[in-house]
Amino acid sequence: MGILRPFRRLIPKRFRKTGPVVNVVRMEGIIASGRAGFRSSQLNIKSLAAPLERAFKLRDVAAVVLLINSPGGSPVQSSLIAKRVRALAEEKEVPVFAFAEDVAASGGYWLACAADEIYADASSILGSIGVISAGFGFQEFIQRYGIERRVYAAGDHKGALDPFQPEKPDDVERLKSAQEGIHESFKELVRTRRSGKLKAPEKEIFSGEFWTGTQAQKLGLIDGIGDLRSVMRERFGDKVRFNLIAPRRSWLKDRFGIGSGLAPGRFAGGDDWFETAIGALEDRIIWSRFGL
């Protein structure tokens, strides 16, 4: 059908499909910068920029839907994606709706806030408006096996929070200070995008807690319970048509990982196996926080 699109005007109107068009952009996975080789999560501004541009630029679009299933991840990527959505929505004057599937929490909820209205299933998980940093401490492990850690750095704090060295209170304090700044940005986004809709004290909403769709609606975090098809039909009529805007993928990328963040000639089965395994473990831990 894409090949025939330039000739659409030559087709008599009575043979054309009618009804409002809603473009759907799926946002599924952990939000990450995309540098982690073959990690399962590659939801970032690089992967979403082109689909978002196409979703808003297609002619006669009635609305753009963000179909979200994400437990969060990078606050920077979350912010960049949300800002791009808002910029396109305002430029094209197109309304945006977000629909949460299993989960739209933390950075996933950040993305949802880019929409004008947010909907979810009654059992969806939403919220987790907070900032978290997790890691491991291996200093006792390497001491037990007689491994010596050698680090040479210029700058007093260049090796801060090294997992192979004892934790320093000053380093932890600096990390928490940075987290507070990010958390404040998240809170300000929610205040702005959900202005006049929040129905609970900020102390509760911004505690980092997460809720089901039913609970989130009572708190004012979403506008209603419903799925994409039923809500859009109610809004635009039974003849509404859905157009999924998917990222363009190449055979080389799918087959060999070219363009996936690996250096040329390097594959997941080579030197990147450890990074890939750690990335998969981190992904699993993030999803498991929400029982998924």
Q: Quick: pLDDT tens for 137-176.
A: 677 777 777 787 777 777 666 666 667 677 777 766 776 6
For the chain, give the mean pLDDT.
80
pLDDT of residue 58: 84
- Number of domain units in the chain: 1
pTM, full prediction: 0.75
pLDDT tens-digit readout, 11-69:
445 445 678 999 999 999 999 886 544 444 578 999 999 999 999 998 889 999 999 99
| Residue 71: count of CB within 10 angstroms of its CB | 27
pLDDT score for 182: 86
Report percent pLDDT > 90 for the chain: 52
- Specify whether the CB–CB gap between 260 and 33 falls below 8 A: no
Question: Is the residue at 167 inside a domain?
Answer: no
Q: Is the pLDDT of residue 6 over 80?
A: no
Assess if residue 122 is contained within a domain. Answer: yes
- Rounded Cα distance, 88 and 10, in Å: 30
For residue 148, being part of any structural domain is answered with no
Token representation of residue 67: 């179909």
pLDDT digits (tens, 9 = 90+) for 94-115: 999 999 999 999 999 999 999 9
Task: Tell whether 228 is covered by a domain.
Answer: yes
Please report the pLDDT score of residue 188 as a whole number.
95
Residue 188 lies in a domain: no
Query: For residue 147, is it within any domain?
Result: no
In a domain, 6, yes or no: no
Expressed as residue numbers, the domain containing 262 is 17-132+194-287
In contact, 241 and 22? CB cutoff 8 Å? yes
pLDDT the model gives residue 212: 97
CATH number at residue 49: 3.90.226.10
Across the chain, the runs of DSSP E, i.e. the strands, are 21-28, 61-70, 96-105, 117-120, 125-127, 210-212, 224-225, 241-244
Span of 5-14, 59-68, 230-239, 283-292 with lowest mean pLDDT: 5-14
Instruction: Kindly calculate the radius of gyration of the chain based on its CA atoms and give it in whole angstroms.
Output: 22
Q: Is residue 144 part of a domain?
A: no
Which whole-number Å values give the CA distances from 87 to 117, 162, 192, 250, in the listed order?
Answer: 16, 39, 15, 28
